[in-house]
Amino acid sequence: MTNNTIDIFPRRLRQARLMRGFSLEKLSQSLSSSVTRQAINKYEKGLMKPDSRMLIALADALGVKIDYFYRPFTVEVDRVEFRRKPGFTEKMVLAIKERVRDELERYLEIEQLSDSSIDFTLPRKEVGTIEEAKAFAGEIRTLLGLGDDGISNVIEVLEDNGIKVIVLSENSDFDGLSGYANGKIPLIVLNGNFPAERKRYTALHELGHLLFDTPDDMPAKAVETICNIFASEMLLPSNVLTEKVGNTRHDISLSELTDIQRQFGISVDDIMLSLREHKVITDSRYSGFQKKKSTMPDFRALVEKSRVELEQPGRFVRMVYRALADEAITFSKAAVLLNTSVDKIKSNFQLV
């Protein structure tokens, strides 16, 4: 791929437009200066170049700095698998793909500058049944040295094992996605607007997508099911669950479940689902729980309350400040990488 600035600007302009979810027409209407959608289309095809005044207007309308348009491309995001609801449009898909590309480029650049790359070594495995998904979750927990304990920080565990985790603020139609950049760099993208428990669960669900080799003829719904089972087993192993609540229960208190929720970072809803899956409670008992939630708003609010500390990816920011402390990058470069101002970087930077 070429990094010639003549080739970079058209691609960066299109990327910035897609990240904002703008059509050519909407971008044209957003510009204070008069420019047609046809002219913008020619900019994106490299047939025309904007003057300095128009370049400033484009940057302002798209919410980027001018030098963004000339930043070399370092990564291509491909083989990305989305998990989305029917209301998630192709326009939203394109916007997320481009935002992921932008975040990942900066992530890989600081890894290179700080010489901090981590190889992804978790194994892939053929998984086609619920039992195989449970067993594989146990194998992964063993590889990660987790034993039967809860995972204190799912995102940190993933990042420490070579998976790039990117958190975006999206609408509720988007849970997460996973895939590989450049055919070899594993990535997981999460919706930052969700509660901590849901983000943790989604992250491990997407880890299942990264690690499973499922049969070609396996229905998509069945694949989602075994990824859910994998996520539940990763967060709360079934043997630990039954040790805490027993092998068979009819009545169970919310206090018991919220205690487990705090220990293992898994939602009450997902604990109840696991209890039904493992036959600790009956299907009718689980249905009664769901009915109570639907008819009693106060009870529903208590069940769905988040009781776990919110997790955010921290490795990328740490690498930037490490490179800054080692004088491998300037304050200006740090600001570009973290997409913030030089003043903010300086106010946050203090040597000990």
pLDDT at position 73 is 80
The domains located in the chain, with CATH, are 1-73 (1.10.260.40), 125-304 (1.10.10.2910), 315-348 (no CATH)
Q: pLDDT tens digits for 148-181?
A: 999 999 999 999 999 999 999 887 878 888 988 8
Residue (of 293, 301, 347) closest to 321 by Cα position = 347
Start-to-end CA distance of the chain, whole Å, equals 42
Tracing tokens 């690498």 back to the chain, one arrives at 319
Residue (of 120, 126, 112) closest to 165 by Cα position = 120
In sign, the C-alpha dihedral spanning 311, 315, 316, 320 is positive
pLDDT at position 266 is 98
Quote the pTM value.
Answer: 0.88
- Structural contact between residues 199 and 308, judged by C-beta atoms closer than 8 angstroms: no
**What is residue 28's DSSP assignment?**
H
> 156-173: string of b/e by CB count within 10 Å (b at 16+)?
bbbbebebbbbbbebeee
Phi, psi of 72, deg, nearest 5: -60, 150
pLDDT at position 34 is 76
pLDDT at position 71 is 86
Q: pLDDT tens digits for 72-101?
A: 887 766 666 665 666 778 888 888 888 988
> Which residues are within 8 A (CB) of 86 and not within 5 positions of it... i.e. 6 or more apart?
none
Blockwise average pLDDT, block size 10, the chain, 352 residues: 67 93 93 87 95 93 91 72 68 85 91 90 96 98 95 97 93 85 89 96 96 95 96 97 95 96 98 95 97 97 96 95 94 92 95 90
pLDDT at position 72 is 83
User: 139 is written with which tokens?
Assistant: 């194998």
